[in-house]
Structure 1
Amino acid sequence: MRLATPEQEGGQAPPSLMPLLRGLEDLKRIRSANQSGSIAERLFTSAWSALVAGVHPTDVARHAVRHALAATVLGDLDTGVLRMAGVPDAAADDIIQATVATAAAPLEAGLRAWLLDAPAPARCGNPPPFVARLAAQPRAGATAPGRGRLILDPPESHAEHCALVTVFGVLLAPSWGARPETVFLAGLAHHLHNALLPDSGFAGEMALGEWLAPSMARATALALDELEPGLRAAVQEACHILPDATTPEGRAFHAADTLDRVLQVEGQLRAAGTSMAFVLREMELVHAGPVKPFQDAVLARMGLAA
């Protein structure tokens, strides 16, 4: 039997998911007045809080991805906020379910059903201390030996990156027949070493030479020591998929990690290169309504019409 090549395996990534993945990237940049951090950062924190409280990784993964799908449209308008604003419980639940169903439309049927029926975690604990450190730890940007560092502001945090890798990993898991909960848990944990080690990027890693592996291993062990034995063992088991892409779970993880890293930069470059014509015409910054003719006339008079 002839084994598939890495190129053939990589060719199983579904291009139909790209619009959804780009929408999910924005969760790193959506914030609201009554909560700290981005949606992505809070997804990371809530996932670890549920795991510490003993919620099974499968249920944590289903709830986190479902929440992320809803947030691509609603942002921080969750059921709690809607109810406080006077939306009845049933209507609030219907809004969330309909939004998740629409966002999940391009997903594989089994995964879509798995997410639509996801229960909310019943318990929530205090996240381990490394969670706050990863939320405060910026990513390095693009670095390469012998070249200057390329930093696009604002930098993402390691919590935001890990959150998106976990979500991407679950959505990509069916492409390789991977277990989504394993990919999810490995994605949450794959930068535990950065809770201690500031991110120096590829160039810094090469500079460490033979000390790279032992320093990362020691930093990871210190973070893992903040978990109770059962959860620590589950995280360590999931992280066995990280070194290579020879397993279904390893392929789903590395596809997710790669796509998130590239889409992070793509999103920043796209925003920097956006034209006023695109914002006004395609995004309808001044959108249809009873006062739009007046607004258009003001823009035209002031030289701002596209």
Structure 2
Amino acid sequence: MISPAAPLELRELLVELNDLKRVRSAGRAGSIAERLFAQGWAALTGGSPAEEVALEITAKALAAARLCDLDDAFLGAAGLSDEAVGDVLVAGFDAVASHIDSTLADRLRDRLRHRRSLPAGPLPGFVAALAQQPRAGVTCPGRARILLEPPENHAEHCLMVAVYGVALSPFYRADPTLVFVAAMSHHFHNAAMPDAGFTGEMLLGNHLGPMMERTTQWALGELDPDLRVTVERARAVLPDDATAEGRAFHAADAIDRVLQIAQHLRAASLTMATVLDDMELVHAGPVKGFHDRVLTDMRIP
């Protein structure tokens, strides 16, 4: 019997987390995923250990799956006590994390209950560049590109693969920190290099390798020597699936690429029965009866 290549029980969590690339709030620039990508790099350049950053960003992402931007900063500003903020964040985490490895879940939950302030260093230029660089869409050599709007950007993709990688690491017995850093840096070349997808890579032919190496070095050159060593060590797992960390990374990368397209298809096939019956768009409350009559008399939908 062939062992499974990935943990099916995490599927629904990964699907839900993917929407962090599309959740935005007033007064905050970019999606939650884009902002967590920047927070992660600021913490790394600020000198925080990579393990601490991986846990911090992953915990925030899982809590945000249901709470969105009702994060610790907002909850505290809105008047909740420190204990109450922790209660809310942990409740958000527990709402989605039932299938996360228990040891990892305890560590992530602790980050939300006992919050630490990670020093923020300067953001390297590649952070903003990756946030401005759209992903290619669906490409295949010899065929026209399929573009699905709005496109995700490379910062969002890298963040999502990093969070997925941490969540998947126990299944592969991989070092989650190594997977996180590898994922956060795996599209360094696209900070400068426009994304033409698989089609463009094939058309570049023998020029592709040297070009990716050169543009990757531009991004690595923005890091201080110690952090650069950490990142280069993590990036060593990227070329193949020969290591546990390589398998965790490539599983996360493939899952995110396909789920990004799946959410477009899911939206296109959404039915009013799902919206009204399953999701209770017109939900229970003191005026639900009136709402239902209005919709019936207006023949909506």
Whole-Å separation in 2 of the counterparts to 1:13 and 1:149: 29
**Aligned counterpart, 2:228:** 232
Q: How does 1:1-306 map to 2 (within 5 A)?
A: 8=2, 11-118=4-111, 119-305=115-301
The answer to whether the Cα contact below 8 Å between 2:66 and 2:95 also exists between their aligned partners in 1 is: no
The answer to whether the Cα contact below 8 Å between 2:64 and 2:70 also exists between their aligned partners in 1 is: yes
CA displacement at 1:122 relative to structure 2: 2.4
Aligned residues: 298
The answer to whether the Cα contact below 8 Å between 1:55 and 1:121 also exists between their aligned partners in 2 is: no
Range moving further from structure 2, 82-91 or 239-248: 82-91
- Give TM-score, length-normalised by structure 2: 0.96
Whole-Å separation in 1 of the counterparts to 2:186 and 2:6: 21
Whole-Å separation in 2 of the counterparts to 1:121 and 1:89: 13
Whole-Å separation in 2 of the counterparts to 1:213 and 1:303: 60
Matched residue type, 2:129: R
1:96-154 CA-partner distances (Å, limit 9, x unpaired) = 12222332211111111121123534211121011000000000001001111011111
Question: Aligned to 1:152, what secondary structure does the other structure show?
Answer: coil
Range moving further from structure 2, 246-255 or 90-99: 90-99
Unmatched runs of 5 consecutive residues or more in structure 2: none
The answer to whether the Cα contact below 8 Å between 1:63 and 1:121 also exists between their aligned partners in 2 is: no
Range moving further from structure 2, 122-131 or 47-56: 122-131
Matched residue type, 1:56: P
Whole-Å separation in 1 of the counterparts to 2:54 and 2:270: 34
Percent of aligned pairs with the same amino acid: 51
Question: Aligned to 1:37, what secondary structure does the other structure show?
Answer: coil
Whole-Å separation in 1 of the counterparts to 2:280 and 2:299: 17
Matched residue type, 1:29: R
Q: 1:60 to 1:47 in 2, by over 3 A?
A: same
Whole-Å separation in 1 of the counterparts to 2:117 and 2:265: 36
Question: Aligned to 2:152, what secondary structure does the other structure show?
Answer: coil
The answer to whether the Cα contact below 8 Å between 1:53 and 1:125 also exists between their aligned partners in 2 is: yes
Range moving further from structure 2, 42-51 or 94-103: 94-103
- Give TM-score, length-normalised by structure 1: 0.95
CA displacement at 1:268 relative to structure 2: 1.2
Question: Aligned to 2:179, what secondary structure does the other structure show?
Answer: helix
Whole-Å separation in 2 of the counterparts to 1:79 and 1:261: 29
1:254-285 CA-partner distances (Å, limit 9, x unpaired) = 00000000011101110111011211111111
